[in-house]
Amino acid sequence: MNRTILVRPLAVAAVLAAGLVGTGAASAATGTASGVDVTNTETVQVYVSPDGKLGDQHIYEQLVLTGHGKADLANPITTTGLRNLDGFSGVDVKDGKQVVDTTVDGEKQLRTVSDYHGDLPLKLSVSYKLDGKPVKAADIVGKSGHLDVSYTIENVSGKPTQLTFADGKGGTVTKTVNVPIPMVASMSTTTPDNFRNVSSKEASMGGDGHGGTMMQFTLTLLPPVGPATSTFGYSADITDGVVPRAEISALPVDPLGSPTFASAASSYKGGADTGVELTSGALKMDAGLVKLQGGASDLVAGLIKLHDGAGQLSTGLTATAVPGAAKLADGTSQLDAGGKKLKDGAGQLNDGLHQLKSKAPQLADGVSQIYGGQKALAEGLRQLYVGVEGLPSQVRDQVNADPDYKFLTGTLFPRLLNINANGKSTLTSVRADMEALSSITGLSGGDQAKVDKVTSDAAAHGSLADLADDLDSSSSVVNTIASQLPVMVDKITAGIKAQLTAAIGTPTKGCDPTATLRCGASALVDGGKQLDEAVPQLRSGVNQLAAGSTKLAAGAGTLSDGLGQANSGAHQLADGLGTAADGAGQINDGLGTASDGAPQIVSGAKKLSVKGSQKIAAAGEDTAQSYGEMYAELVAEAKRANTGAMAVGAPQGATALTAYDFVITGADGQDSRNVTRSLLAGGLLVVAAGGVLLRRRFRA
């Protein structure tokens, strides 16, 4: 029995150590300077009565040294009841530490056991009911009925720790949480063959090959993945009852390093991130709902206007559109005919522009010639202006040298004056003759008539005296003309000069091209120059026009086809507008209903904001904080698992593994039977001793 007690915890430690290494909870073995790796496993074994009362507690230490070289280390241990499990020699202890100074060539194991009085990370309680009534373990022995067994294990290793995590709104929350050492455990027990109808909601079950039932319970004492407290058990129908022995094995685990729990940690972290995103999205949605509420108000007003417009549309379709569509159909027929003409015209335009394109080089030459002519014209006008400046003197010289002018002034005017003088003398002689004639008498009738005719004609043309005076005046006029003629020539030539120079003008900057010839010629030259310089662009434009006209011709053809289709569509429109007029009336009725119901959108958007997006945002904050707190707790638990999970401690640099083994002893009546046997044996001894004494006494 003692061998089982001593050896089993070490076996448990080895199994749990293998499990820890498998889950990644333990750090890698650390080599010493001498090249020896050290692994330290601690297994705390606790005996518990069937009713859950703690009994003896031992801690089994195992050092596994692997490698080649010298190992010098100090392993923290408990020293009360310390024994060496590898022999009868003692254990070297200094300042509460096992001192090891040895040489390793391959592998060496050092095992010890001592009493353990430290704090246990788990608290255990056991309860029983027989036929529904609470009983003690001893009350079950030998009884029959329906048995319910319940175990409760609580992780009591929690330590107040500050956690910081996202609040879901861009900030952080700091909260103090009781963070335990994360533990996983399993409990196993086997009921005997007098337990029937064994059942459990929590256990994995199977037969033991002897009529009994094996049960295995798996516990995750790792908040928030699993509860810190777990209650489980089984029930059975029993005869000649006993309480089976049970054993609980528990060990710390790193929830971030273990593949079993790392996915949960990742889920919590993802949940926290999702909560942040959910809050952000809900706040944006709430802002959108506020806008929707405002937009819905505008929608109400718009629907009212739309309703009014739909009524007008219905009226317009009936009164105007339908008749107008008929006219439109007539118009599209005309457009169709015009489109065909446009197609023909575009073809002709295309032909003409391509002809223009072929004439463009000649146009360029013509523009250059025009530009040269404009420059020659400007130069000719300049020379004309210079010539007009000297016109008066030239005219005067030419007039004086002119034979007609010389004849007029040198011959005609003197002759006129001589004629006037001779005429006056003749008129005086004639007047005397007339006076003499009028006094003649005794003429024949014919002659007298002639004389009277002459005198009457003379009287009709004025008196001869007046005629003489006229000759005097004529002589005076001739003299005046003779004297003023040179002056008149000068004035005329000066006036011509002034008019010509004014008309020809000088080309000054900003002058009016319509005011003078030279200004106009200068403008022509500038324009001709621009035109000449623009000819290449013109030719390019003509080329583009020619290319465009080709497209235009093609487009006109397409347009003509489209107008034909439009004509067909217009006729269809005319037919369909009657139906549309009926539909517009229905739309008007429907919009009336919509405008009555639209205010509900406003109130609905408000309710959706208050009861929807705002609550989603709050839920997002709760989600972010809840999952953020759970992930932060797992991180803190991982830290405790890696730094504070050892029951006593480990050598520096060693791989450290801890396990706890709770042995819940059974109750089968053997203890009382052993006492009875002891008492009987003792009585027999007393009786035997008494007989000996009596025999001796009798002999004496």
Please check whether residues 106 and 129 belong to one and the same domain: no
SS3 track for 651-691 = CCCCEEEEEEEEEECCECCHHHHHHHHHHHHHHHHHHHHHH
Looking at the structure, tell me whether residues 402 and 498 fall in a common domain: no
Torsion, Cα of 43, 49, 54, 57 (10° steps): -30
The answer to whether the beta carbons of residues 214 and 188 sit under 8 Å apart is yes
Report helix, strand or coil for 511: coil
Pairing of strands 183-191, 246-252: antiparallel
Shared-domain flag, residues 324 and 374: yes
Contact 26/20 with Cβ under 8 angstroms?
A: yes
- 537 domain residue, yes or no: yes
- Residue 370 token pair: 């025009």
Whole-number pLDDT of residue 442: 65
Is residue 107, in this structure, part of any structural domain at all? yes
Minimal CA–CA distance to 174: which of 161, 183, 187?
161
- Is 558 found in the same domain as 571? yes
Given 477, 504, 531, which residue is the final one in a domain? 504
Same domain, 386 and 435: no
In a domain, 699, yes or no: no
Q: Is residue 647 part of a domain?
A: no
C-alpha 97/C-alpha 108 separation (Å) is: 19
Tokens read off for 434: 């007339």
What's the pLDDT at 671?
60
What's the CATH number where 224 sits? 2.60.40
- Distance of alpha carbon 46 from alpha carbon 65, whole angstroms: 27
Range of the domain at 199: 122-253
Task: Please provide residue 374's backbone torsions phi and psi, each rounded to the nearest 5 degrees.
Answer: -65, -40
Q: Which tens digit of pLDDT belongs to each residue from 120-147?
A: 999 999 999 999 999 999 999 999 999 9
Are residue 213 and residue 286 in the same domain, yes or no? Answer: no
CA dist 501 → 111, 390, 487, 588 (Å): 138, 11, 21, 81
Query: Contact 195/140 with Cβ under 8 angstroms?
Result: no
In degrees, rounded to 5, the angle at the alpha carbon of residue 461 between the alpha carbons of residues 460 and 462 is 95
Structure tokens at 410: 């040198």
Query: Are 62 and 96 within one domain?
Result: yes
Residue 443, domain member (yes or no): yes
pTM beyond cutoff 0.85: no
Structure confidence at residue 458 (pLDDT):
61
How many Å apart are CA 16 and CA 26, to the nearest integer?
A: 11
* Per-residue burial over 250-283, b = 16 or more CB atoms within 10 Å of its CB, e = otherwise: bbbbbbbbbeebbebbeebbebbbebbebbbebb
pLDDT reported for residue 206? 96
What pLDDT score was predicted for residue 439? Answer: 67
Do 144 and 196 lie in a common domain?
yes
Nearest alpha-carbon partner for 156 in 209, 230, 262, 266: 230
Among 218, 253, 288, give the residue marking a domain's end: 253
- At 473, the amino acid letter reads S
**Domain final residue pick, 504, 521, 538:** 504
Interatomic CA distance for residues 126 and 233, integer angstroms: 9
| Dihedral pair phi/psi, residue 71, rounded to 5° | -120, 125
- Dihedral class, residue 231 (left if φ above 0, else alpha if ψ from -120 to 50, else beta): beta
Residue 91 sits in the same domain as residue 136: no
Whether residue 131 sits in one domain with residue 109:
no
Regarding whether 411 and 383 lie in a shared domain, the answer is no
CA dist., res. 92 & res. 259, Å (int): 40
What pLDDT does residue 5 have?
38
With respect to residue 493, please indicate whether it lies within any of the assigned structural domains.
Answer: yes
| Ranges of residues in the chain whose predicted pLDDT is under 70 | 1-34, 262, 265, 269, 271-273, 275-301, 303, 307, 431-443, 445, 455-465, 591, 594-595, 597-598, 600-615, 617, 620, 671-700
Residue 268 placed within a domain: yes
Q: Where are the beta strands (DSSP E) in 180-320?
A: 183-191, 195-199, 204-207, 213-221, 229-238, 246-252
How many domains does the chain contain in total? 4
Give how far the C-alpha of residue 222 lies from the chain's centroid of Cα atoms, to the nearest Å. Answer: 42
Q: Is 664 inside a domain boundary?
A: no
* 195 and 100 in a common domain: no
R_g of the chain, CA atoms, integer Å: 70
Number of H helices and E strands in the chain, helices first, is 12, 18
What pLDDT sits at residue 396? 74
Q: Residue count of the chain, please give it.
A: 700
CB 467 within 8 A of CB 434: no
Dihedral (Cα; 359, 360, 366, 371), 10-degree rounding: 170
